[in-house]
Structure 1
Amino acid sequence: MTGFSQTVKPDTTGTFTNPLLPGGPDPWVIREQGVYYYMATTGRNITIRKTKAMSALSTAPATVVWTAPAKGPDARDIWAPELHRLDGKWYLYYTAGSSDSIHPQHTFVLENAAADPTTGTWTSKGQIRDTAADYFAIDGTVFSYKGNRYFIWSGHNGKDNVQRIYIARMKNPWTLASGRVEIAAPQYAWEKNGINEGPEILVNKQQDVFLVFSVSGCWTDDYALGLMRLKKNADPLVAANWTKMPAPILSGKPENGAFSPGHNGFFKSGDGKEDWIIYHANSRAGQGCGGQRNPRIQRFSWDDNGLPVIGEPVKIGTPQRKPAGE
């Protein structure tokens, strides 16, 4: 399916409930020209849902824009797609593995010159990597700061299987211009199972830069979100300029039907005044890393120090006010 045929029904209740869909791990949302584009891990392709109202995501048309080839370096385990508008074109960053099952996961890039990413042609730009440290690398995201563009991802150091967060400066949307720098590794008790992954950048109105990341294994009920802060006006490529907060900013709440919340994205409401988070969670204990991880959204605020305050996962089935502007 291509094009945009969704009609948002008149708002008669002013509310919605989580989850937005029955499944959708690793959700990502970007808004362009008044339209939200949503995607999530499918394992086999990249599908984009297009909507003018995030609370109506379940009625949004879904378009498969890319399907994994039968063989090659990006033939299997398609994870964590992210869509970015850079230099007048669309770029899709996704994690994939080789048709050889022993091959580790890496990150790849697709390019599309069309104004609407659900149309046009997606062209492969290949793997984005640090050629001097071409190890396991997943969950890539893009960050623009003070005239430079950076790529941030989760990967291995080539010595062990601990997942760390790395950053490198970009030459163009599919090529790195610098070597990678490790800016985070598991250090607190709540960062169990040796995993920091799913990095996402968040910027407040004072232009303070934060990095939100997922911790622990998705196969556990300990998955959660952590927070790092970049020193004001500092170089993101200097690890000492990043400070990790000692407690998670979003954790599971069994009584709310929220197990293993994590791997998030951020978006603004339609009127541009509200901050919202999208994340996945399981509705029951022990559901692990499967497709039943479902997307949820909720509004968040900021404290007097400019730190994001997400609170606890909203209970499934509980009415929430729709994002302003819907």
Structure 2
Amino acid sequence: MNTEHQYIIGLLFILMFANCFSQSKTFTNPLLPSGADPYSTYYNGYYYYTHTLQDKLVLWKTKNLANIAAAESKIIWTPPEGTMYSKDIWAPEFHIIDNKWYVYFAADDGNNENHRMYVLENDNEDPFQGEWDFKGKVAAWPDRWAIDGNVFTYEDERYMIWSGWEGHTNGQQNIYIAKMKNPWTIEGKRVLISEPTYVWEKQGDLDDEENPPHVNVNEGPQYLEHNGEIFIVYSANGCWTDYYSLGLLSFKGEDILDPGSWIKHNKPIFKKSEENSVYAPGHNSFFKSPDDSEDWILYHANSRPGEGCGTRRSPRMQKIKWNEDGTPNLGTPVSAKTILEIPTLK
């Protein structure tokens, strides 16, 4: 091998290494071809990620959430047959509470009217190890249809927010909040803090402000705190429409269980971008970069109009900013061609 050949081979190795390094530091959306209702928990240097799979609970583990496609994964629970929670498992979330792992999810027996929220517990520090024990149904009074539970702590008290029906029929979905006695038990009555009121929350696929179709959905609530300000970001409209989007509630009172303490913003804060070929962005969660300096949104969306609530919803993420008034600025959903830097590492 002559010197010229050695130089060329060496250069190729350098280029290959540089390309791999570049790819490891940047990414493009979507993160996976499919995966609705994405959620992640950062713990001990790893992201633990999950999304809706309908018939089981799966957990992914990775140091780089942008590389979730190559992450280690494990089925941590498959429901027993013939129960009220055997089917239609939606929107799982993994939380660490009092040094134990909990996963909250909604499920039914094949009849959507029976959707309720449930929780599993694992006392092993590593959620890929240990046993996941079924703790039961998480229900408030009155016990009604419920999905999309999100748990948070405020002033040393634990609360759950979720989407539910007022009665026993599917008239509209509202956002409720309740205090928790422990990680698997709601204490007291549920409190209504948001229901669809604006056209953009019940628009359907017809851009007709005078005669909007009958779509009344508030769902997927997510607690968000920044510099002492408290927010709930929620999904509005039907997931089967291209107008699925994110709305914002701001906590402006003293009692978090007082409906009057929550102020709804009159416009969506995150919506479709036809220019970027992103449709029906919604059911999000939030996470911090490993160095704790950046705030990111994790959400699902479609790449084409009319793709609805099926398996074409794919997980995506992008960094968010903050407005001068303290509210979150989620920006515009970026296109699949946009090259983004990964969350800043420690």
TM-score by length of 2: 0.88
* Residue in 2 that maps onto 1:254: 274
Deviations 1:104-135 (A, max 9, x none): 211000000011112211000110001x3111
* Residue in 1 that maps onto 2:216: 194
Deviations 1:126-173 (A, max 9, x none): 10001x311110000101001110011100011652100000000000
* Residue in 2 that maps onto 1:4: none
> How far is the alpha carbon of 1:10 from its aligned partner?
6.2
Deviations 1:241-262 (A, max 9, x none): 0000111110001221211000
- AA aligned opposite 2:231: F
> How far is the alpha carbon of 1:11 from its aligned partner?
3.0
- Structure 1 position 75 matched with structure 2 position 86: yes
Please, which of 143, 146, 149 is the counterpart of residue 152 of structure 2?
143
- Structure 1 position 90 matched with structure 2 position 101: yes
Query: Segments of 4+ in structure 1 off by > 3 A?
Result: none
> How far is the alpha carbon of 1:48 from its aligned partner?
0.6
- AA aligned opposite 2:259: A
- State the distance in 2 between where 1:257 and 1:118 align: 36
Aligned residues: 314
- Structure 1 position 183 matched with structure 2 position 203: no
Task: Pick closer, same or farther for the CA change 1:159–1:107 going to 2, 3 Å.
Answer: closer
* Residue in 2 that maps onto 1:3: none
- State the distance in 1 between where 2:279 and 2:249 align: 22
Mark the runs of 5 or more structure 1 residues left unpaired by the alignment: 1-8
* Residue in 2 that maps onto 1:280: 300
> How far is the alpha carbon of 1:43 from its aligned partner?
0.5
Query: What is the RMSD of the two structures over their aligned residues, measured on CA atoms?
Result: 1.4
- State the distance in 2 between where 1:102 and 1:297 align: 29
- AA aligned opposite 2:328: P
Matched ranges for 1:308-319 at <5 A: 308-319=328-339
Task: Pick closer, same or farther for the CA change 1:115–1:309 going to 2, 3 Å.
Answer: same
- Structure 1 position 63 matched with structure 2 position 63: no
- Structure 1 position 154 matched with structure 2 position 163: yes
What is the identity percentage for the equivalent residue pairs of Structure 1 and Structure 2?
Answer: 45
SS in 2 for 1:12: helix
SS in 1 for 2:275: helix
> How far is the alpha carbon of 1:57 from its aligned partner?
1.1
Mark the runs of 5 or more structure 2 residues left unpaired by the alignment: 1-18, 203-214
- State the distance in 1 between where 2:136 and 2:168 align: 25
> How far is the alpha carbon of 1:56 from its aligned partner?
1.0
- AA aligned opposite 1:44: D
* Residue in 2 that maps onto 1:21: 32
Matched ranges for 1:1-326 at <5 A: 11-13=21-23, 14-99=25-110, 101=111, 103-130=113-140, 132-158=141-167, 160=169, 161-192=171-202, 193-204=215-226, 206-231=227-252, 234-325=254-345
TM-score by length of 1: 0.94
> How far is the alpha carbon of 1:34 from its aligned partner?
1.4
- AA aligned opposite 2:247: G
Contact between 2:84 and 2:114, CA under 8 Å: does it hold in 1? no
Higher helix proportion (structure 1 or 2): 2
